[in-house]
Structure 1
Amino acid sequence: MNFDDFKSAWENDKAEDPIKTTIDLDKFKTARLPLDQLRAKMKDEFWVQCIALLITAFFPQIFGLSQGFYLPFYGFFVFYLAICVYYLSRFYFFYKRLLPADLPTMENLYETYYDIKLHIEIYKSFTYALLPFAFAFGGMIILNVKNGKIVRMFMEHGISNNLTIVLVASFAIGMIVLMLITEFWVRKQYGKYAVQIRQLLDELKGD
């Protein structure tokens, strides 16, 4: 190939590059819709979580817990609050990083995809970490029914073996049900956006 042929071929390749780039940019833009939707849901859930945390702080007053439950309740609540603050801070910083405009390259899109996957696992861990607190708070509310009548009954008559088995089985079943609900909720809320971005990445790799 002489110099003129080489120059002509190079100019043809150069002319084709903008077309390829335009196609890629158009595909990158398709990631903005799921990311915009994801950010909107994250913003709503962030405020719901904050409101739920505030309401939980007033459970003793809302449910009329006796003074004897205040110390154990707020003892649990301190740990509950620490876990929530840690998670919500990560939730917030992930939301700030998740900017659809910042996706000019495959590397950034991959990073966003794996960031979403990581957030999903953190979300699950957060929910599972709160389950024992939910049972503890719920147990205190139940034990407080009728001014602690259930507590006095247990103190006077003890807990039978059959009742112990029922309580343990109920706790285990409740945990399993809540974990299944969590898996379903996470997939519905966040998992589908990770799938959409994964499909876009596969399309870009195939071009």
Structure 2
Amino acid sequence: MNFDELQKKWQSEEVSAPEISLDHQHKINNPLQKIRKNMKMEFWSNMFTFIIIFFLIFTIDNLKLKTYAVILTLTAVLVSAFYYLKFFSLYKEIIFQTFNTKDSLKTLMHQFELNKQYYISYYIAFVPIIVSSYIVLFEYLPSYKNHNDMVFILMFGLTVLLGITFLYLIGKWWFNYFYGKYIIQIDKILKELL
């Protein structure tokens, strides 16, 4: 055989990825629907939260405090916007792609793992915003100005530590409750197929 004949034969052969049975596709579809529903809920609840925060900010009388609060909230909105750009790419993939091959399911699991990393990064990005918010609060709340420096440092450090710990625990619980258990279900189905 010469090269042209080999090339024609190679082009005529079709390569297909192993198909997933309809039963397994239906099993995969149920957790995916729940993930999509939770993604929508999370987006809209975040938007509602930012609207409430902006409303509360504009009830503040002190112009300097209001300015700081607006800047910190806009920073949080920018961080959230970046995260939600990544979030929506996963959402679109879940909606528009059919997961009828093992390779497409492996790609989906990889996307979930990336999204988990984005989620962790999202919460880590809020640490400086929280610390800055505490600095502003401690500066403008009169009850904290009456303490000596050591008491102030201890109170500030403890408040920041508790706030960040709370953020970490809530973020971890949120991801596991709304996404993690469904990702585990999909992963089990993928392992059954391998």
Residue 164 of structure 1 and its aligned partner are, at CA, apart by 1.1
Asked if the contact 2:109–2:187 (Cα under 8 Å) also holds between the matched residues in 1, the reply is yes
Tell me whether 1:112 sits opposite 2:108 in the alignment.
yes
The letter of the residue matching 1:29 is H
* Aligned positions of 1:40-189 closer than 5 A: 40-62=37-59, 64-99=60-95, 102-137=98-133, 140=136, 144-145=140-141, 149-150=142-143, 154=145, 159-189=148-178
Tell me whether 1:194 sits opposite 2:190 in the alignment.
no
Aligned alpha-carbon RMSD (Å) = 2.6
Q: Equivalents in 1 of 2:76, 2:169: separation in Å?
A: 22
**Percent identical residues:** 21
Unaligned runs of 5+ in 1: 1-19
Q: Equivalents in 2 of 1:60, 1:171: separation in Å?
A: 21
Q: Equivalents in 2 of 1:177, 1:85: separation in Å?
A: 22
Q: Deviations over 1:99-150 (max 9, x none)?
A: 37611100001111121121122122212212432454465456545xxx34
Asked if the contact 1:38–1:193 (Cα under 8 Å) also holds between the matched residues in 2, the reply is yes
Q: Equivalents in 2 of 1:44, 1:172: separation in Å?
A: 29
Q: Equivalents in 2 of 1:27, 1:169: separation in Å?
A: 50
Change (3 A) 1:58 1:132: farther
Q: Deviations over 1:12-67 (max 9, x none)?
A: xxxxxxxx96x7232122100000111011111111111212222233224x2411
Tell me whether 1:31 sits opposite 2:28 in the alignment.
yes
> Which residue of 2 is the match for residue 7 of structure 1?
none
Asked if the contact 2:35–2:179 (Cα under 8 Å) also holds between the matched residues in 1, the reply is yes
Q: Equivalents in 1 of 2:131, 2:53: separation in Å?
A: 13
* Bigger Cα displacement from structure 2, 98-107 vs 45-54: 98-107
The letter of the residue matching 1:128 is I
Unaligned runs of 5+ in 2: 1-17
Q: Equivalents in 1 of 2:184, 2:96: separation in Å?
A: 16
- Provide TM-score, normalisation by structure 2: 0.78
Asked if the contact 1:24–1:204 (Cα under 8 Å) also holds between the matched residues in 2, the reply is no
Q: Give the total of aligned pairs.
A: 177
Asked if the contact 1:42–1:95 (Cα under 8 Å) also holds between the matched residues in 2, the reply is yes
